[in-house]
Amino acid sequence: MQLDSHFSYKNEILHCEGIPLPSLAKKYGTPLFVTSKSAILDSFQRFEKAFAPLNHLTCYSVKANYTLEVIRALVEIGSGFDVNSGGELFRTLKAGANPEKIIMAGVGKTADEIEYALQSRILMLKAESLSEVRRINTIAKKLKRIAPVALRITPNITAETHPYITTGNHEQKFGIDEALAEEVLCEIKSLKHLRILGLDMHIGSQIQDPKYYYDAALKLIHIKSLCETMGIEVEHLDIGGGFPVTYSQEKKATPIEEFAKVLVPLLKSTGAKILLEPGRYMVANASVLLSEVLYIKENHNKKKFIIVDAAMNDLIRPALYGAHHEIIPVVKRGAKKLTADIVGPVCETGDFFARERTIAAVEEGDLVAILSAGAYSTVMASNYNARPRAAEVMVCKGTAKVIRRRETYEQMVANEE
Ligand code: LLP
């Protein structure tokens, strides 16, 4: 198993940027998310290098991981941000982001969210329907403002990925159907409180083949020309997020440079300012979820279970998408192996991290690390089974700090009468 370079074994003990992980588990308890700040910054820089030939702004999609300190790390390094709700906008502003570098998506923005975005003077709202366009115009009129808007276009491209996270075709709820773009643009021309600043697409997540982006971007460019014939000048083209990461060494992700190779010449020729919205790419492999092995049990039919103290409420991806996350011992015990289901304490058969997985042998009381736990984990966490949310620690060059304290029982009931 090849780890992200910021996590490595020293004397058979897993470390993050020089800190032994058992010491963090001892100090802060488990389940515990441990994030390498350098890993996030390195991913950002690699992404920037790949797309450097373009006049572009990378807008980290905070839905992947919106812990304030994670957003702050990306603010410091100059990232822009893509938000999908008022709550994400609040977090991003609170972390110190410049509103002029924030864009907002969302297929169902409420009037309050639209008003909040306009009052915050963000770069643009990405409208996903004609009704939303009209609503933005009405709210902008009330505020005596001109709303900066991009139209999210559905290019009718079905990118190959998990069906829950492919978003670019007409069977899904997102965006404005490419076939209706002209009709929508005609109406927009009559709205006085809108300015069309860009065209946008997002065709899905964890997409391995750059050809889907190429095909979809071509459609966006076609609509850009249509806009121009209608007298609408499009300054920005936003090609969304969805760039893949490696979850398992057997299925390595297509390198980001391959996407750049296909997209840069095409996008450069448009003369537009390009927006990109990577989420997972920046954070997925920057974190591990540390968990303690509570019990190991074997049924009469030899079926084994490793019961750990993390559960689907901490990381739902295996239960929800059948997603693969590598699981490794924090302290190696030698070459012995064990095949088992690795499960949590939640009262559901769906509460598993791996099924019939062969891993290096562990014993009760050992720690395991669930890898690639930085994206779509804490943000999708819940209190199911009244389990407090896990703590998070960020490590940077030999120092560790808590970036989210473990939730308490009292905090879990604080809003209830
Ligand atoms: N932009 C928009 C408009 C999006 O909806 C998304 C993700 C992104 C950017 C960032 O996509 P990324 O680069 O992270 O793939 N919970 C699922 C993933 C859901 C993605 C939702 N939208 C998972 O755990 O795989």
What tens digit of pLDDT does each residue of 352-370 get?
Answer: 999 999 999 999 999 999 9
Q: How many CB atoms lie within 10 A of CB 417?
A: 3
Give residues with Cβ within 8 angstroms of 205, minimum separation 6: 161, 162, 165, 167, 241, 242, 279, 280
Confidence label for 168 from pLDDT (cuts 50, 70 and 90): confident
Q: Which two tokens stand for residue 318?
A: 């295996």
Ligand 1 geometric centre to CA of 281 (Å): 10
Assess whether pLDDT exceeds 90 at residue 268.
yes
Residue 249 has a pLDDT of 83
Summarize the confidence of residues 302-324 as an average pLDDT.
97
User: Which residue is associated with the tokens 């938000």?
Assistant: 83
Q: Note the pTM of the prediction, 2 decimals.
A: 0.97
How deeply is 268 buried, as exposed, middle or buried, from its count of CB atoms within 10 A (0-12, 13-18, 19+)?
middle
Tell me the average pLDDT of the chain: 96
Residue whose CA lies nearest to ligand 1 atom number 6:
241
**If you measure from the C-alpha of residue 42 to the centroid of ligand 1, how many angstroms do you get, rounded to a whole number?**
20
What is the structure's pLDDT at 3? 81
SS3 190: coil
Indicate the burial class of 122 (C-beta count within 10 angstroms; 0-12, 13-18, 19 or more).
buried
> Which atom of ligand 1 has the smallest separation from the CA of 317?
24
Residues 6+ away with beta carbon under 8 Å from 163: none
- Distance, in Å, from the CA atom of 21 to the CA atom of 7, rounded to the nearest integer, reads 10
**pLDDT > 70? residue 1:** no
pLDDT of residue 166: 75
The whole-number average pLDDT for the span 245-259 is 95
Burial class of residue 266, CB neighbours in 10 A (0-12, 13-18, 19+): middle
What's the pLDDT tens digit per position in 195-230?
A: 999 999 999 999 999 999 999 999 999 999 999 999
Choice between 250 and 102, residue whose per-residue pLDDT is larger = 102
Calpha distance 397→25 (Å, rounded): 18
Q: What tens digit of pLDDT does each residue of 94-144 get?
A: 999 999 999 999 999 999 999 999 999 999 999 999 999 999 999 999 999
Question: Would residue 347 show up in a list of annotated catalytic residues for this protein?
Answer: yes
* Out of 116-125, 149-158, 315-324, 404-413, least confident range: 149-158
Residue 279 CA, ligand 1 centroid: distance in Å:
6
What is the structure's pLDDT at 172?
A: 84
**Residue to probe by mutation, ligand 1, list 205, 239, 325, most atoms within 8 Å of CB:** 205
Query: What does each C-alpha distance from 363 to 96, 172, 356, 366 come to in angstroms?
Result: 44, 46, 17, 6
For residue 152, give the ligand 1 atom closest to its CA: 3
- Distance from the alpha carbon of residue 39 to the mean position of ligand 1, in angstroms: 19
Give the residue from 121, 81, 135, 86 showing the smallest Cα distance to 106. Answer: 86
User: Among 200, 239, 280, which is best to mutate for testing ligand 1, by the most ligand atoms less than 8 A from CB?
Assistant: 280
Confidence of residue 393 (pLDDT cuts 50, 70, 90): very high
Q: Is the pLDDT of residue 384 over 90?
A: yes
Which atom of ligand 1 approaches the CA of 279 most closely?
A: 14
Q: How far is the CA of 204 from the centre of ligand 1 (A)?
A: 7
Q: Kindly compute the dihedral angle of the four CA atoms of residues 153, 379, 89, 197, in this order, to the nearest 10 degrees.
A: -20
Gyration radius of the chain over CA positions: 23
Asked if residue 145 has pLDDT above 70, the reply is: yes
H-helix segments, 120-255: 130-142, 181-189, 210-229
pLDDT of the residue at 306? 98
Lowest mean pLDDT among 132-136, 178-182, 378-382, 399-403: 178-182
Closest of 153, 86, 154 to residue 122, by C-alpha: 86
Q: Of the residues 16, 227, 347, 396, which is catalytic?
A: 347
Q: Choose the residue to mutate in 47, 61, 206 for probing ligand 1, maximizing ligand atoms within 8 Å of C-beta.
A: 61
Work out which ligand 1 atom sits closest to the CA atom of 242. 15
Instruction: For residue 255, give Cα distances in angstroms to 51, 124, 179, 264, 288.
Output: 13, 29, 32, 15, 21
3-class DSSP assignment, residue 91: helix
pLDDT of residue 78: 98
Query: Separation of 414 CA from ligand 1 center, angstroms?
Result: 31
Pocket-forming residues, ligand 1, beta carbon under 6 Å: 61, 63-64, 82, 105, 165, 202, 205-206, 240-243, 277-281, 317, 321, 376
Whether the Cβ atoms of residue 245 and residue 50 lie closer than 8 Å to each other? no
pLDDT at position 2 is 63
Average pLDDT of span 325-340: 95
